[in-house]
């Protein structure tokens, strides 16, 4: 496969889409395009992929430079999975209408030292087992950036949810389990709901398949106290989001949740679904359709507020569909938000 950088590979398909949907001259700013747009069909993130399996990403929104962490078995040559970091640079040129997605800092070089410390945290969590489902929580104050990474590891047998943080300290803490989320079964893919008031995750604690669970938490405490505390509310299975099949990899941005499921009615293997939070509850899950899903597996979706389109979010996910670098590759697509 010709492994050119995505700055070259994605220009042709995206340029025509942007011109068709965004070619509106903005008299107030002097730019040719007054808004950006994201592609409606998945684009391979070739800058980030390898011949091995690359998936399980997390990317909290920090404008157009996004600290992207994802699981891959490239370093073990197809063996165990570790979590690695790369910068995700999303740039829409309002003069040319070209969208570039690269793994280089370029115009964001000033943030390199701030974000490269994430690698020290990832070194801290590396084990001979598998690390999956990274969720990076970013906080900023006058002293700089603090990072808290939630993830799962199966080093003790069953997968359990752990975290590390560099908040209020030099360097990263030792890995610590999030006790109130874990069970004797597999517990994975933690994500914080709107306002950090709820933690969602998936578990097979009730049987042979994975369901989506949640627990309300105290929003009046800092992230480390929240993760090491003992909530008064109990963990419960979400009967709307869960099915009699595997429902896994939940991720929440604002009032929208995305997840993967192999429930009946899909297009093949695992498909990607979404649910909107309205009137105090999650709506019935909706399949993203054949434009995004394929006859192969689509897995571990996340949503990113990438700062390009006012009515879309960037959804990153993994798929083993044909045409990639090998194994599971990372892709991105624009979805309504």
- Domain 6-336 grouped into CATH 2.115.10.20: yes
The DSSP call for residue 143 is T
Structural domain boundaries of the chain? 6-336
From the number of C-beta atoms within 10 Å of its C-beta (0-12, 13-18, 19+), residue 19 rates as middle
Given its phi and psi angles, is residue 168 left (phi above 0), alpha (psi -120 to 50 degrees) or beta? left
From the number of C-beta atoms within 10 Å of its C-beta (0-12, 13-18, 19+), residue 168 rates as exposed
Distance (Å, whole) CA 30 – CA 306: 23
pLDDT of residue 116 exceeding 90, the answer is: yes
Taking CA atoms, 54 is separated from 59, 133, 238, 275, 322, in Å, by: 14, 12, 29, 25, 14
315-330 tens-digit pLDDT: 999 999 998 888 899 9
238-269 tens-digit pLDDT: 999 999 999 999 999 999 999 999 999 999 99
**Long-range contacts for 139-143 (Cβ within 8 Å, ≥24 apart)?**
139/167, 139/223
Chain-centroid distance, C-alpha 109: 23
Integer-rounded Cα Rg, in Å, for the chain is 19
Q: What is the mean pLDDT of the chain?
A: 87
277-289 tens-digit pLDDT: 999 999 999 999 9
Distance (Å, whole) CA 166 – CA 145: 9
Q: Is 229 helix (H, G, I), strand (E, B) or coil?
A: coil
From the number of C-beta atoms within 10 Å of its C-beta (0-12, 13-18, 19+), residue 157 rates as exposed
- The pLDDT-based confidence of 56 (bands split at 50, 70, 90) is low
């Amino acid at each position: 496969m010709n492994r050119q950088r995505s700055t070259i590979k994605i220009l042709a398909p995206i340029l025509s889409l942007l011109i068709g949907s965004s070619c509106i001259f903005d008299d107030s700013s002097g730019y040719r395009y007054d808004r950006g747009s994201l592609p409606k069909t998945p684009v391979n993130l070739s800058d980030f992929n390898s011949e091995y399996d690359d998936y399980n990403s997390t990317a909290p929104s920090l404008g157009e430079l996004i600290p992207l962490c994802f699981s891959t078995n490239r370093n073990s040559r197809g063996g165990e999975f570790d979590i690695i970091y790369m910068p995700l640079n999303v740039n829409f040129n309002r003069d040319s209408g070209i969208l570039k997605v690269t793994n280089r800092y370029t115009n964001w070089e000033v943030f390199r030292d701030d974000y490269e410390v994430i690698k020290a945290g990832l070194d801290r969590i590396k084990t001979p087992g598998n690390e999956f489902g990274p969720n990076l929580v970013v906080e900023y104050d006058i002293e700089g950036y603090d990072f808290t990474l939630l993830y799962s590891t199966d080093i003790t047998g069953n997968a359990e949810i752990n975290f590390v943080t560099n908040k209020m300290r030099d360097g990263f803490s030792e890995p610590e389990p999030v006790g109130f989320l874990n069970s004797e079964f597999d517990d994975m893919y933690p994500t914080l709901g709107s306002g950090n008031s709820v933690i969602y995750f998936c578990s097979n604690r009730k049987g042979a398949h994975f369901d989506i669970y949640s627990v309300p938490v105290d929003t009046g405490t800092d992230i480390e106290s929240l993760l090491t505390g003992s909530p008064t509310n109990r963990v419960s299975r979400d009967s709307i989001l869960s099915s009699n099949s595997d429902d896994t990899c939940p991720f929440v941005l604002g009032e929208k949740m995305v997840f993967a499921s192999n429930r009946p009615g899909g297009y093949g293997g695992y498909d990607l679904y979404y649910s909107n939070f309205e009137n105090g509850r999650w709506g019935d899950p909706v399949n993203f359709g054949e434009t995004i899903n394929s006859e192969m597996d689509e897995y571990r979706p996340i949503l990113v507020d990438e700062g390009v389109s006012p009515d879309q979010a960037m959804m990153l996910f993994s798929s083993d569909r044909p045409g990639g670098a090998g194994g599971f590759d990372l892709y991105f697509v624009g979805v309504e938000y």
